[in-house]
Structure 1
Amino acid sequence: MRSFTRRAAAVILGAALVAPAFAQTPAPVPGAAPAAPAAGAPAGPLQPATPAPGSLPAPTGKPVERPTGVAATVTGQPIPEVAVWRALRQFPEAEHPIARKEILNHLIENLLIDQYLNALKIAAEPAEVDKLIEELKAELKKSMKDYAKELESMMLTEAEFRAEVTAQMKWDKFLKQQGTDQALQGFFVKRPDIFDGTLVRARHILLTPGTDPAKMAEAKQTLAAIKSDIAVKAQEAATAAPGDALAKETARGKKVDELFAEAAKKHSLCPSKAAGGDLQFFPRVGAMVEPFAEAAFKLNLYEMSDVVETEFGMHLILLTAKNPGKARKFEEVKEDVRAVYAMQLRQAVVGQMKPRAQITINPAPATTPAAAPPANAVPTTPPPPPGSPASVTPPTGK
């Protein structure tokens, strides 16, 4: 069966929305991102993970009231509150304020992508959608699942699910147009560190000033002051150290690491502060959000970054170790290349559309959904009106 059929089946068999960083185990790390899509399952607007058939927990029997209202609008198009609730039910109530922000951000990005594809007149034929849904019903039947009941358990109407299938098929068409073998090979050649297994280890200090300009400026100044103070004291340690240049650099690196860990414990708002901001080893793609990973991989050993802004806040990063990977042939990792290319293509589309969009986020309702088995969740993307976005430059690996 087609790979897309398996991915779309995952939606109704219990796949979750792309998990926000805080939903990971062990302790959450702001700046961490969802795991990279598996080979053979290119990322799209939904980016579902594919569980084994039958993995959806049995309904609890407790009726769940479908919420009403609009969570946000994107250039006049609504994102219904129920779309947020579907994903929010996966998380403990204590995590809802943070989870809601990340879930809603993902839903907004999905809608921006769908608007872009509609403006390019990329469409999925109704007959193709019908065929896929029939295949999904057959998959569910094999797993002793009922299509209608599965939709109901996820507070998902057939029209909403059909819209999701349509959006994914449109994305797959766009990805196929852009992600030619030539484009994928060029991307692979320019970014060997993504595919060769290179890992880096870093510490970071996170501040979360929100969107207030004054607080953002203050956070930048705080991080810059921390960096300057560490650099000065580390250089003093290097100057005082006996021995040759290598010995002095070793002393400097040791002092930077020591002082940075102390500063992280004192100032950072990330749970990693308990470990001096240590994030352990991570790859170039799939573990951290892109601005963070990009900055970390450009650093030399025991070099501190400038202030890095991500959706989680502002970071100061220190590289503490690097494990070089092993060269791979394109044919060996082609599907991984396609998955990463798709992820960066998604980011390029969102980056093109978001600054031009009119986005309104409404206050969260007074009540939040009770936790439910992670059975879940598909962002709702109603058909948008036509627009005329500028073309997006596909990722080149630069």
Structure 2
Amino acid sequence: MNKLIVPLLYLALTLFQQTAFSADKKYQNDVVATVNGKKILQEDISNRLSNFKDVDPDTLDTIKQEIIDQLITDILLEEFIDKQGLVVVPEEIEREIDQIRGTIGGTQSLEQVLTSIGSHMMEFKKSVKHSIALEKYFHDKLDDRMLEKFFEENKNLFNGESVKVSHILVDTRNMKTPEEYAQALEHIKNIKKEIDQGSTFDETARKYSNCPSAFIGGDLGFIQRKSNLAKSFSDTAFALQVDQVGGPVRTEYGYHLIKVTDKKEGSRIQFTSVKEKVRLEVLDAEILKLLDRLRKEAQIVAN
């Protein structure tokens, strides 16, 4: 599933639990932001926040900003699609939705998932429409020469090269002050010293790591260059030799020490065998460039 289609759906499925969140109704018509003169109301935000619980204020602020960013993106894309004269018929949207239904695991239906994040099918169909329209817009712009050039410059994204990693995490997500972050950094540096002085990585991870993987010595298994892990984490891991420990590395979760315990070399591959994967990778990159340009050109006012 393309990240563009349902970022809020992905957010809800992977990060948060649901419950009731009550916003004061008298503020529902307040204008949170305008995008090229089009209004985003507090009601638009509250509807999507209404199902998150057990979330600390800082995290809730982050979710709210994600929602606002997505609403801004929706407005910009709708304007762009209209301006370009891109047409998406209902049958195309329904076919895409049928495919998405098949990707949802567990017992929840697509409708239940949408309800759980304060969304609904009409809104979801709009996101799918945007995705299909962008596919059409870029279809003739991503020629084979462009794709093959990207492939030659980024073969390691497609050849299956992987490393087996373990890590130790000092979680900083609930930290607020520079002093707390400094203490966390000093803590993980001291952990690194213990390893350098002879403690095994496995034992040290079990003792100190804040990640659930601690009970198995921090083992995360094999990862590929293209993964859901932070780029700083992946880049460090692939730069290490087997049995080498790297870090501290900072991510949104905190500070990490990383150890590579095994490597699998990538296989020899031909462009034709991974052409569709290359196309999707380039398409995502081009969409991000387009969104960045649309934002820079737009008149966006936050209230």
**What TM bracket, shorter-length normalisation?**
0.5 to 0.7
Gaps of 5+ in 1: 24-63, 140-148, 234-254, 358-384, 389-398
Matched residue, 2:47:
82
Distance 1:332 1:223, change over 3 A: same
The alpha carbon displacement at 1:282 in A equals 1.8
Deviation at 1:183, TM superposition (A): 3.2
Local SS of the residue matching 1:327: coil
Describe the SS at the equivalent of 1:261: helix
Structure-to-structure mapping, 1:97-246, within 5 angstroms: 107=67, 110-111=70-71, 113-114=73-74, 117=77, 121-123=80-82, 125=85, 127-128=87-88, 130=90, 132-133=92-93, 154-155=114-115, 156-157=119-120, 159-173=122-136, 176=139, 179-210=142-173, 211-231=176-196, 233=197
Amino acid at match of 1:304: V
Paired residues for 1:1-398 under 5 Å? 16-17=9-10, 77=40, 80-84=45-49, 107=67, 110-111=70-71, 113-114=73-74, 117=77, 121-123=80-82, 125=85, 127-128=87-88, 130=90, 132-133=92-93, 154-155=114-115, 156-157=119-120, 159-173=122-136, 176=139, 179-210=142-173, 211-231=176-196, 233=197, 259-344=200-285, 386-387=298-299
Q: 1:157 Cα shift?
A: 4.7
Cα shift at 1:295? 2.1
Contact 2:20 2:50 in 1 (8 A): no
Percent identical across equivalent pairs?
Answer: 25
Displacement of 1:270 after TM fit?
0.6
CA distance, structure 1, for counterparts of residue 251 and residue 269 of structure 2? 31
Deviation at 1:126, TM superposition (A): 7.7
Give, in whole Å, the separation in 2 of the partners of 1:81 and 1:129: 31
Aligned-pair CA distance for 1:264: 1.8
Give the match's secondary structure for 2:169.
Answer: strand
CA separation of 1:299 and 1:179: change in aligned 2, threshold 3 A: farther
More helix by percentage: 2
Bigger relative contact order (CA 8 A; separation at least 6): 1
Alignment CA distance shift 1:219-1:66 (3 Å): closer
More deviation in 165-174 or 321-330?
165-174
**In 1, Cα distance between equivalents of 2:87 and 2:143:** 26
Structure 2: tracts of 5 or more residues without a match: 100-108
Aligned-residue Cα RMSD (Å) equals 4.7
Tell me if structure 2 keeps the 8 A contact 1:209–1:313: yes
Range with bigger deviation, 217-226 or 198-207:
217-226
Please list the CA deviations of residues 178-201 of structure 1 after superposition, one character each: whole Å capped at 9, or x if unmatched: 644333222221222221111211
| One-letter amino acid of the counterpart of residue 224, structure 1 | K
Write the distance in 2 (CA, Å) between the matches of 1:219 and 1:321.
28
